[in-house]
Copies of this chain bind each other. A is one copy, B any other.
Amino acid sequence: MLTLFQHPMLPSCRFIRLAFGENGEELELIEETPWSRRKEFLALNPAGSLPVLLAEGDVSIVGATVIAEYLDETRGILKRDRRLLAENPMDRAEIRRLVDWYLVKLDSEVTRHLVRERVFKPMMPPELGGGSPDSTAIRTARANIKQHMKYTNWLAGSRNWLAGPRLTYADLAAAASLSVLDYLGEVDWRENNAARDWYARVKSRPSFRSLLNDRVRGISPATHYADLDF
């Protein structure tokens, strides 16, 4: 079994857990606090970022999209119609564009700010930036989320899955990100029916179960978080 260094409140880490889950492969999870910069962990990844996969031969594969490509090249390629990347280069580009949208754009406009202010800061020592949440950062992130929900709703309403006819990495990256926000009760599903129906479909997949069991210290999930019929 391969090992994943991860944190349950990072979308990029949840994305990789879902990707391996869809490939029917279990991972040993090691929780790493993103700000601790442990020496042993920096030896695996000098950038200190998550996730890191300890792959075959204990070689470290660093970063969510890099791990996803590795997974596709070593396993996905044999999966035929259950492959999480398409066969055609143009379709692959569309999937990758959406993975970037959720793991980079949504993250930098919304997710990372809410997670930092609401989850990490209360746990972090003051000398590393811990302390009380910055309400301006929270307000800005909350304003930004609306546009992303509208876009997700549009994608979900115009395609069967977010990138086209099949479940792909795009769905996993989007659902991983929204699941973190949903844990924090930050997603308003009411005005986005197509997005809700799509999320309910992803959420009820077996690969999602371990995410729904995640808990972080001091913050209970929103009441509907693990509810498949929300």
A21 at the interface (CB under 8 A from B): no
- Rounded to whole Å, the gap between the CB of A48 and the closest CB of chain B is 9
A100 at the interface (CB under 8 A from B): yes
- Rounded to whole Å, the gap between the CB of A38 and the closest CB of chain B is 18
> Does A47 contact B101, Cβ atoms closer than 8 Å?
yes
Interface on chain A toward B: helix, strand, loop, or mixed SS? helix
CB-nearest residue of chain B relative to A48?
Answer: B105
Q: A46-B151, A151-B46 are in contact. Are A93 and B105 (CB under 8 A)?
A: no
A165 at the interface (CB under 8 A from B): no
Chain B residues near A65: list those with CB within 8 A: 65, 96, 100
Instruction: Specify which of B55, B59, B92 is in contact with A73 (CB 8 Å cutoff).
Output: B92
Chain B residues near A67: list those with CB within 8 A: 93
Would you list 15 pairs from A and B whose C-beta atoms are within 8 A, ordered by A residue? A61-B93, A62-B93, A62-B97, A62-B100, A63-B96, A63-B100, A65-B96, A65-B100, A66-B93, A67-B93, A69-B69, A69-B92, A69-B96, A70-B92, A74-B89
Residues on A facing B (Cβ under 8 Å): 46-47, 49, 55, 59, 61-63, 65-67, 69-70, 73-74, 89-90, 92-93, 96-97, 100-101, 105, 151
Please give me the 8 A-B residue pairs with the lowest Cβ-Cβ distance, nearest first: A73-B89, A66-B96, A62-B97, A61-B93, A70-B93, A63-B100, A66-B93, A74-B89
